[in-house]
Amino acid sequence: MAWNLKSDRPIYSQLVEQIELLIVSGIYPAGSKLPSVRDLAGEASVNPNTMQRALAQLENDGLLYTQRTSGRFVTEDVERIMQIKNNLAQGLIKEFIENMRNLGYDTKQAIQLLEKTAEEEE
């Protein structure tokens, strides 16, 4: 996956978001081992210290845990992952509703349009 970092926000918070995404989308499944800080930093072309900071933040959030000898793992707590996933989904939905409202659709109309578009896509 390509790391997409914008230039006007702190790098570390963007890294946190993107790793969250990698975990909830199952690219890094529950209980799996994460690449080393250096490899991750190399992949994203960012400073290893910044990557370290982002991972520490995710550890605080309970998404990652460290085993002293063998490295860093994604949590086995699937519920916690689902919770984060739901949070992210809710954020996207809120944004969607907000945007639709700006276009002049109310919630009901927006949902109808959503269903219709989804059907057509299938």
Partner 1 sequence: MENILECQNLVKFYPKCLALNSVNLTVPKGKIVGLLGPNGSGKSTLIKLANDLIQPTSGKILIAGMEPGIETKKIVSYLPERTYLNDWMTVNDMIGFFSDFYQDFNKGKAYDMLARLGVNPSLRLKTMSKGTKEKVQLILVMSREAQLYLLDEPIGGVDPAARDYILDTIIGNYNPEATVIISTHLIADVEKILDEVIFINQGNIVLVSTVDDIRENENKSVDALFREVFKC
Among 1, 10, 26, 62, binds partner 1 (CB under 8 A): 10
Q: What SS3 string covers the chain?
A: CCCCCCCCCCHHHHHHHHHHHHHHCCCCCCCCECCCHHHHHHHHCCCHHHHHHHHHHHHHCCCEEEECCCEEEECCCHHHHHHHHHHHHHHHHHHHHHHHHHHCCCHHHHHHHHHHHHHHHC
Among 50, 57, 80, 100, binds partner 1 (CB under 8 A): 50
Q: Scanning residues 55 to 114, which ones bind partner 1 (CB under 8 A)?
A: none
46 counts as binding partner 1 under rule CB under 8 A: yes
Among 5, 27, 82, 93, binds partner 1 (CB under 8 A): 5
In the complex, the residues that contact partner 1 under the rule CB under 8 A are: 5, 7-12, 38, 41-42, 44-50
